[in-house]
Amino acid sequence: MAAEPIYLDHHATTPVDPRVLEAMEPYWRRDFGNAASRGHLFGWRAEAAVEDARERIAAAIGAEPREIVFTSGATESNNLALLGAARARRRGHVVTVATEHKAVLDPVRALEREGFRVTRLPVEADGLLELPRLEEALADDTVLVSVMAANNEIGVLQPVQEAAGLCRERGIPLHSDAAQALGKIPLDLAEWPADLVSATAHKLYGPKGVGFLFVRNRRPRVRIAPLFHGGGHERGLRSGTLPVPLVAGMARAVELAVAEREADAVRMGALRDRLRARLEAELPGVHVHGDLVRRLPGNLNCGFEGVDGEKLLLALPRLAVSTGSACTSASPEPSHVLAALGVPEALARASLRFGVGRETTGAQIEAAADQVVAAVASLRGEAR
């Protein structure tokens, strides 16, 4: 059997950590109850597991347990935050950033169709949002601002804390999509003035299909119109039977990611830097996209001049990487993120996103660099 390709696509998803799998195990069969069953032991046990998970997630991120609303993942959390908070206000102005994930941009477009006024802020060539642009955009009728914490394609870290401060001074709620950031950068919601924060378990070695929305408990609390009706679970914000094993797994995954964050960051950052150093030393015409300092430790995104984008991926069958974001790769358009940075279309198409993970080894990075150098050189018609 041929060897598995090297997995360097950890922004798309991550494998479940064995410790997470272990934490989920009791809730598939032994303690399988419905957390909303109030009349018997099976339900009580499931409810206890859910509340224990809520407390542990809250403790790991500086939140209160009642500020955590369980969802199916960051797409749902973003939709609940954006559609929910805007619709509760009925009309007004919504501000977001051009490089957000589609799970933010698409609900914002839906709000625009419903009559909300929308501003999509541009970013600079390094992918970062300049705060004065946000400040200028805020208006008397602004009802919500959404700025992601870490970009899923180029890994840059937006100044969310400062943006949230600006919004708070004006009484405007700020939402942040932290799907790529939680467990990767310091994130203490006791310090962050954001009101709504989205997260998902499968980006941090937890299971797919579960996430949460942090809804700050302050006066006045941000009002949210629920997306689903029925049952009144999660304080009426998200009806639906909770997936107890997934919730328990997510709590363990969040705890581990937060506890091991610093050590993981140092190791993954060194591997990412090694990959970048080799590509830049061994190939001319390599363009790294996005700021290099304010960046996720495991992210590298670079374009290779003079190479056809489609042929590049085909020339790398032993490497699991992506061009643009996995969630948009079904559509043939070049990445909207790279376009927002002003990257020319041909270079954007000839760009690869590398995502180093917890289990990535030095040997895998060397092998990946060998493969990319050989593929680019061969597509450029150079013998190596």
Ligand X SMILES: Cc1ncc(COP(=O)(O)O)c(C=O)c1O
As a whole number of angstroms, the distance between CA 355 and CA 207 comes to: 18
Judged by CB under 6 A, does residue 337 bind ligand X? Answer: no
- If one asks whether residue 200 binds ligand X (CB under 6 A), the answer comes out as yes
HSE value, Cβ hemisphere, 13 Å, CA-based, for 199: 30
* Token pair for 187: 């994130």
Q: Minimal distance in Å, beta carbon 75 to ligand X?
A: 3
CA dist 18 and 373 (Å) reads 34
Question: Where are the extended beta strands (E) located within 269-379?
Answer: 286-288, 299-304, 319-320, 351-355
Q: Determine which residue in the list 61, 103, 143, 164 makes contact with ligand X, applying CB under 6 A.
A: 103
Q: How far apart are CA 117 and CA 47, in angstroms?
A: 41
CB of 179 to ligand X, least distance (A): 4
Bridge partners for 9 per DSSP: 355
Q: Which position among 73, 207, 249, 303 is part of the footprint of ligand X (CB under 6 A)?
A: 73
Of 225, 288, 327, 339, the catalytic one is 327
Q: Which of 50, 58, 75, 296 binds ligand X (CB under 6 A)?
A: 75
From the CB of 57, what's the least distance to ligand X, in Å? 15
In three-state secondary structure terms, 141 is coil
Nearest residue (beta carbon) to ligand X: 73
Other CB atoms within 10 A of residue 361 CB: 10
Query: Which lies closer to ligand X via its Cβ, residue 250 or residue 369?
Result: 250
* Alpha-helical runs (H) found in 140-286: 160-169, 244-259, 261-282
- Say whether residue 299 binds ligand X (CB under 6 A): no
> Which region among 70-78, 168-176, 264-272, 288-296 touches ligand X (by CB under 6 A)?
70-78
- Rounded to the nearest whole angstrom, what is the least distance from the CB of residue 315 to ligand X in the complex? 25
Taking the alpha carbons of 39, 43, 48, 51 in that order, is the dihedral positive or negative?
Answer: negative
Q: Provide, rounded to whole angstroms, the least separation between the CB of residue 95 and ligand X.
A: 17
* The binder of ligand X chosen from 48, 131, 327, 367 (CB under 6 A): 327
Q: Which is nearer to ligand X, 54 or 184 (CB)?
A: 184
**Nearest CB to ligand X, comparing residues 70 and 304:** 70
Verify whether residue 327 is a known catalytic residue: yes
Q: How many chain residues bind ligand X (CB under 6 A)?
A: 13
Stretch that binds ligand X, among 31-39, 67-75, 123-131, 167-175 (CB under 6 A): 67-75
Q: Strands 93-97 and 142-146, how do they pair?
A: parallel
Q: Which of 291, 288, 287 is nearest to 123 (CA)?
A: 291
- Contact by Cβ (8 Å): 290, 54: no
- The tokens of 218 are what? 């302050």
Q: Which is nearer to ligand X, 167 or 213 (CB)?
A: 213
227 part of the interface to ligand X, by CB under 6 A: no
- 238 within 8 A of 80, measured Cβ to Cβ: yes
Q: How far apart are CA 29 and CA 286, in angstroms?
A: 52
Residue 237 backbone phi and psi in degrees, to 5: -85, -25
Tell me if 177 contacts ligand X by CB under 6 A: yes
Residue 152, interface with ligand X (CB under 6 A)? yes
Nearer to ligand X, 146 or 364 (CB): 146
Active site residues: 327
Residues that bind ligand X (CB under 6 A): 73-75, 101, 103, 148, 152, 177, 179-180, 200, 211, 327
